[in-house]
Chains A and B, each alone.
Chain A
Amino acid sequence: MARKPRPDRAEVCIIGAGASGATAAKVLTEAGVRVVALERGPWRRRESFGGDELANINRYNLWPDPLLNPRTARTSAAEPAREELFCPVPQMVGGGTVHWQGWLPRFTPNDFRLRTIAGPLEGASLADWPIGYDELEPYYDRVEWAFGVSGLAGANRFEGPRSRGYPCPPMPMSRYAENFHRGCAALGWNSFPTPQAALSRPFGGRPATVVSAFAQQHGDPTGTRSSALNVFVPQAAATGRYDLRPDCYVRELVLDAEGRLRSAVYEDADGDLVEQEADLFLLACGAVESARLLLLSRSGRFPAGLANGSDLVGRNVTFHEYSAAIGLFDDPVYAWAGGGYVSASSFQFYEHDERRGFVSGGHVAAAGVGIPLPINWRLPGAPAWGAEAKRVDREAFNHSMAVAMVLHDMPQHDNRVDLDDGMVDAWGLPVARITLTPHRNDLDQGRFLIDRSAEILEAGGARSVTKVYAERVTGNCSHQHGTARMGDDPAASVLNRWCQAHEVDNLFVIDGSSFPTGTGANPTLTIMANAWRVCDHILANRGRFARAGLAASGASR
């Protein structure tokens, strides 16, 4: 590798251009800040996406190719790690929002104080957040309106107070949503249209979203879905202050003599090494890769990884597990038709209720079976091949739907991301190794939520129901959090309430790494709202982060 001339120093360098990195880029560039962004993956245009299940799902067109970007996993430190595509997220401009379906519920006020609400849980490292719902609410509102979200204010009776409604009414109600709402109504449970990163009508200069079977886990060739790629990246680029460099893989963050971050060293598309200096660095690679980059950045001051004097970087990692009850209906439901677009949710079993015998709960929602499809469609319990398998495919494909859950898994000190000492990626860097044992609470909560999901299907008219309990945590939601907790105590957290490293004052981590608990809801709305909040703080303190004379920003408030 050759070393290229050093580019101009930047005011802010954002590493990653997914949900949080693109939000930060929009907020900072629109406020006049010049930003350099380093994204390891390509900057794909909408013309490069298609309705191709084989390419997108089975051939890693959007998922990381495990031969290039492997990960390893194990259930305890005592056992060898095996190669596993654990909790993958697309690595490209737009990140997980490129292929998501975009369920965007808000967290509830109690999500920010679960330790207080539920008390201690043996074996878990529950913690309250250093911030509350009220502090985040204005940013939820900004993201919903800037990004373009369709939903119905007030419909989720467990939601916290809102400063206003959604910019667009809910997306059309699907046939499977009708079954879901009917089931919930019969049981006396609250249900609501799922807030969706899509436009039910033209908004903000963008046309209404095309409803297609090729949505969940597919890119969007129409450019009509709300994603970081379609919305925040172009908005940041339009300022002329967003120097977004795709195919630039940051290998290490380098300190200066004073212990502040000096530069990010990256390998560019030509395979050459480049050193980018900046006043301020925002890490936005997702909770697994952000932790990995911190751990890869070792120095005399931080021999165990950057900002890791507490030994907490990578620990307390949480992943949502997706599982479902599957119902068969006499009338066709065509649950493939939304491509994972759900349109009906319930938070009835979201809040903590000690009578249930476990901590917290999760979001349940109507969904297709085994989306994406049809290749990857499969009725649980059916044979894999032969005449009977074909019969089940034929009879159930148009007549089945799922009610799925977002499992709120508990943080544990020993559940962690670290570096695998036995495997490197295609760029020669040690890969992320996941060590994770599900907490008893995760399994109990999962069974409870799947049982309730099955009841919704039965009450909604299903002829038969199959339950698929989550027996382990595999990261199959792509949701990842907790690897650099925020908190007020530097001994018990990596970041302060502004997601600024306690030990490195010009380093902020703005993705889900900061979340002390994973909650039972889809995290990306909160990730974007929190990134916006952090950037507002950075803007309010602009100038303090210059090369010299910096005050700890936490003290400035």
Chain B
Amino acid sequence: MAGEAAIEQEAPRAFDPHQRDTVAAAMARIIPSDETPGAREAGTIDFLERFLSGTGFIYAKPDGSGFETLSGRHEQAWRRRIDILRRRYAEGVRELDGRSRHRFGRDFVALAPQEQDEILRAAERHEAWPGGEAPAADAGTGPALQQTSAEIDLDFLPLLVLHTRQGFLADPVYGGNRDQAGWRAIGFPGPASLAEVHSGRYSTLAWFAEGHTDPSFENRKPHHGA
């Protein structure tokens, strides 16, 4: 499709091929594919690489027509944040491979899904392993209901979960949620595009109050981004 080709063309890389494959494989365990699409079909890895490629894909323009150009302190803050996140992913991939080789004698990508789950659970619990150091757990407790989180404070596993979820359920303009796969999976009738909300055409009154219709995508046109 034209939209996908456009994303592919402009997709700058944040990872080397092995890192990309490893993160994509881990994401596929965070939101697995079953009778409905999972992280793989939704393209969450493309979402993540685009995010981490620089500061050019942080904020979509509110009408979906492209991306904002950041400047000044905001640009500096995002550059710093992305540097930190890229380092955390590089360390996280090394950790997953280290654990996998120690436990199963192979890299993470070469493991069976159940083996990958075991490794992810061990990383999540910060289990000690002889091949390397288990990074210290975040000293704080989890956020309270509705509290917005400071992303760079997250450990690798919660960060991966958050980014997978974002790539699955954020507006498709960001390169994930392909064909609104994530929204379809949970039954959220999101807008056909950011422009729908921006223009005020998007109303959820039908689901909100009497006279509702069940969420249906029959008459919706998925979009693929700017």
- Interface residues of chain A, those whose CB is within 8 Å of chain B, are 47-55, 57-61, 63, 65-68, 82-85, 88, 172-175, 210-214, 221-222, 224, 321-324, 332, 334, 336-339, 341, 370-371, 373-376, 380, 384-387, 389-390, 393-394, 397-398, 404, 426, 468, 470, 472, 474, 476
Interchain nearest-CB distance for A526 vs B (Å): 22
Contact residues in A for B194 (Cβ distance below 8 Å): 50-52
B4 contacts A by Cβ under 8 Å: no
A-B contact pairs, 29 of them (CB 8 A): A47-B198, A48-B62, A51-B191, A52-B59, A52-B170, A54-B174, A55-B60, A58-B148, A61-B59, A67-B77, A68-B74, A173-B209, A175-B208, A211-B205, A213-B202, A214-B202, A322-B144, A322-B145, A336-B204, A336-B207, A337-B204, A375-B169, A390-B31, A393-B186, A398-B186, A398-B187, A398-B215, A472-B144, A476-B146
Most buried by A among B36, B143, B150, B161: B150
Alpha-carbon distance between A53 and B215 when the two chains are bound, in angstroms: 19
Interchain nearest-CB distance for A460 vs B (Å): 17
B43 contacts A by Cβ under 8 Å: no
Most buried by A among B60, B205, B209, B210: B209
**CB-CB nearest in chain B for A65:** B77
Alpha-carbon distance between A50 and B147 when the two chains are bound, in angstroms: 21
Known A-B contacts A50-B62, A426-B73; A210 and B200 likewise in contact (beta carbons under 8 Å): yes
Known A-B contacts A213-B204, A221-B200; A474 and B117 likewise in contact (beta carbons under 8 Å): no
B132 contacts A by Cβ under 8 Å: no
B91 contacts A by Cβ under 8 Å: no
**For the complex, would chain A's binding face be called helix, strand, loop or mixed by DSSP majority?**
loop
Contact check, A393 vs B185: say whether CB atoms are below 8 A apart: yes
Contact residues in B for A339 (Cβ distance below 8 Å): 204
Contact check, A175 vs B212: say whether CB atoms are below 8 A apart: yes
Contact check, B148 vs A88: say whether CB atoms are below 8 A apart: yes
Contact residues in B for A68 (Cβ distance below 8 Å): 73-74, 77
Contact residues in B for A66 (Cβ distance below 8 Å): 150
Contact residues in A for B64 (Cβ distance below 8 Å): 50
Contact residues in A for B139 (Cβ distance below 8 Å): 82
Interchain nearest-CB distance for A516 vs B (Å): 25
Identify which of residues 27-84 in chain B touch chain A, using a CB-to-CB cut-off of 8 Å: 29-32, 34, 36, 38, 58-64, 73-74, 77, 80-81
Contact residues in A for B186 (Cβ distance below 8 Å): 374, 393-394, 397-398
Contact check, A67 vs B204: say whether CB atoms are below 8 A apart: no
Contact residues in B for A390 (Cβ distance below 8 Å): 31-32, 34, 36, 38, 185
Contact check, A375 vs B144: say whether CB atoms are below 8 A apart: no
Contact check, A52 vs B208: say whether CB atoms are below 8 A apart: no
Contact check, A371 vs B165: say whether CB atoms are below 8 A apart: no
Contact residues in A for B190 (Cβ distance below 8 Å): 213, 374
Interchain nearest-CB distance for B183 vs A (Å): 7
Contact residues in B for A472 (Cβ distance below 8 Å): 141, 144
* Given A54-B174, A390-B31, 20 other A-B residues pairs in contact with their CB atoms under 8 A: A51-B196, A52-B60, A54-B170, A59-B59, A68-B74, A175-B209, A212-B203, A213-B202, A214-B197, A323-B145, A334-B208, A336-B188, A336-B207, A373-B188, A374-B186, A385-B30, A385-B31, A387-B32, A398-B186, A472-B144
Contact check, A52 vs B62: say whether CB atoms are below 8 A apart: yes
Alpha-carbon distance between A338 and B212 when the two chains are bound, in angstroms: 13
B95 contacts A by Cβ under 8 Å: no
Q: Map CB proximity to A onto B145-179 as digits: 1 under 8 Å, 0 otherwise.
A: 11111111100001001101110011101100000
Q: For the complex of A and B, list the 3 residue pairs with the smallest distance between their C-beta atoms, beginning with the closest.
A: A51-B197, A50-B62, A337-B207
Alpha-carbon distance between A85 and B153 when the two chains are bound, in angstroms: 11
Contact check, B77 vs A324: say whether CB atoms are below 8 A apart: no
Identify which of residues 202-226 in chain B touch chain A, using a CB-to-CB cut-off of 8 Å: 202-205, 207-210, 212, 214-215
Known A-B contacts A51-B202, A212-B203; A476 and B62 likewise in contact (beta carbons under 8 Å): no
**CB-CB nearest in chain B for A59:** B58
Contact check, A58 vs B166: say whether CB atoms are below 8 A apart: yes
B140 contacts A by Cβ under 8 Å: yes
Contact check, A322 vs B170: say whether CB atoms are below 8 A apart: no
Contact residues in A for B145 (Cβ distance below 8 Å): 322-324, 370, 380, 404, 468, 476
Which of A49, A82, A385, A470 is in CB contact (< 8 Å) with B140?
A82
Contact residues in B for A50 (Cβ distance below 8 Å): 60-64, 194, 197-198
Interchain nearest-CB distance for A325 vs B (Å): 11
Contact residues in A for B182 (Cβ distance below 8 Å): 374
Contact check, A67 vs B148: say whether CB atoms are below 8 A apart: no
Interchain nearest-CB distance for B148 vs A (Å): 5
Contact residues in B for A375 (Cβ distance below 8 Å): 165-166, 169-170
Contact residues in B for A426 (Cβ distance below 8 Å): 73, 77
Which of A85, A212, A386, A476 is in CB contact (< 8 Å) with B150?
A85
Known A-B contacts A213-B204, A397-B187; A386 and B77 likewise in contact (beta carbons under 8 Å): no
**CB-CB nearest in chain B for A216:** B146
Alpha-carbon distance between A449 and B81 when the two chains are bound, in angstroms: 39
Alpha-carbon distance between A214 and B62 when the two chains are bound, in angstroms: 12
Contact check, A54 vs B166: say whether CB atoms are below 8 A apart: yes
Interchain nearest-CB distance for B67 vs A (Å): 10
Contact residues in B for A324 (Cβ distance below 8 Å): 145
Alpha-carbon distance between A63 and B77 when the two chains are bound, in angstroms: 14
Contact check, A210 vs B203: say whether CB atoms are below 8 A apart: yes
Known A-B contacts A387-B34, A474-B144, A476-B147; A54 and B171 likewise in contact (beta carbons under 8 Å): yes
Alpha-carbon distance between A472 and B151 when the two chains are bound, in angstroms: 21
Contact residues in B for A47 (Cβ distance below 8 Å): 62-63, 198
Interchain nearest-CB distance for A355 vs B (Å): 29
Contact residues in A for B203 (Cβ distance below 8 Å): 210-212
Known A-B contacts A174-B209, A221-B62; A211 and B187 likewise in contact (beta carbons under 8 Å): no
Which of A84, A222, A338, A404 is in CB contact (< 8 Å) with B208?
A338
Known A-B contacts A47-B62, A65-B77, A476-B146; A53 and B31 likewise in contact (beta carbons under 8 Å): no
Alpha-carbon distance between A57 and B151 when the two chains are bound, in angstroms: 11
Alpha-carbon distance between A122 and B198 when the two chains are bound, in angstroms: 52
Contact check, B150 vs A332: say whether CB atoms are below 8 A apart: no
Contact residues in A for B117 (Cβ distance below 8 Å): 386
Contact residues in A for B74 (Cβ distance below 8 Å): 65, 68
Contact check, A394 vs B205: say whether CB atoms are below 8 A apart: no
Contact check, B197 vs A212: say whether CB atoms are below 8 A apart: yes
Interchain nearest-CB distance for A327 vs B (Å): 15
Contact check, A55 vs B31: say whether CB atoms are below 8 A apart: no
